[in-house]
Amino acid sequence: MNVIDKCWRQDTNWRNHRQRLARCSVGFAGKMTNNIGKGTIRYIASNVIIHGIQIHHCKAQGPGLVMGPRGMIMPLGPMDGDAIGVVNASKVWIDHNTLYSCDDGLLDVTGGSKNVTISNNWFKNQEGVMLLGHDDSYLRDQQMKVTIVLNRFRPNCNQRMPRVRYGYAHVVNNLYQGWKQYAIGGSMHPIIKSESNDFIAPQSGNKKVTWRKGVDRNSKPWTFYSVNDLFENGAYFKSTGKNGSVPSYNNEQKFHIAKAKIVKTLTSSAGALKCSKALTC
């Protein structure tokens, strides 16, 4: 098991100890506290866990009314067909979900969100997978910090794993099995540290892991670099900027980073789990 799953999955009485899960998160989300109550609609929320669900074939929707907290009827703007959207939120942990085949993307972190960890998820069958940052003009996303760890991107994930605007992304111990346009990319000078991931290039087509928008020979290089990654089947990574921009995790955020050669094993249980009530999960 990986460093997150060891924290709770070996407990045979896990179903009666579900609140302990909140102490198992790592990365920028840190440990989770303060139950925010029932329901799924959250505005400017913090300490949120999204865990153990499957979301697929999401469709774009026009504006409408929804039932919010305490039975209040609230207006909801148009939705573009994402599986999960994190907007203007902090301390969010998205763990062990299976996401695929949605109209727009599978996961967006935008609107000034910060301190987010995305772990143990299975992303598949999607053109644009993950977007970090609202748009090139949204400066509040400069405060964004996201850890992407122990996820599985396969099969048929074509680009945006993730695509980053501004902010800091630590992409670590993930499995990438093929892509069309690119695996990791960005614009607006984010800092991206790719560490101990396993990149398996497609049999044909583009084998370059990285993509940058708005970069030419006159541009100042932004920090986008690889440390201890594993490149298979001809995959390669173009680094720019100075190495050494570390995540600076505190004691509640830091975690053991495994070697890239065992990432296939560590991500083998990525996605929503099927657990028995009487056994370890």
Q: Please list the active-site residues.
A: 160
Going 217 to 223 to 225 to 227, the CA torsion angle's sign is positive
> How far separated are the first and last CA of the chain, in Å rounded?
11
Distance CA 165, CA 141 (A): 7
Distance CA 205, CA 202 (A): 7
Token digits of residue 104: 């727009």
Q: Which amino acid is at 176?
A: Y
Token digits of residue 156: 């048929």
Strands 46-51 and 90-95: parallel
| CA 269 vs CA 54, 66, 266: distances in Å | 14, 34, 7
Cβ atoms of residues 234 and 201 within 8 Å: yes
Strands 168-172 and 191-195: parallel
Token digits of residue 112: 């000034």
DSSP letters, 60-103, are -B--EEEE-GGG-EEEE--B---SEEEES-EEEEEES-EEE--S
Question: Pseudo-torsion of CA 108, 109, 112, 115, nearest 10°?
Answer: 180
Token digits of residue 155: 């099969």
Cβ atoms of residues 139 and 166 within 8 Å: yes
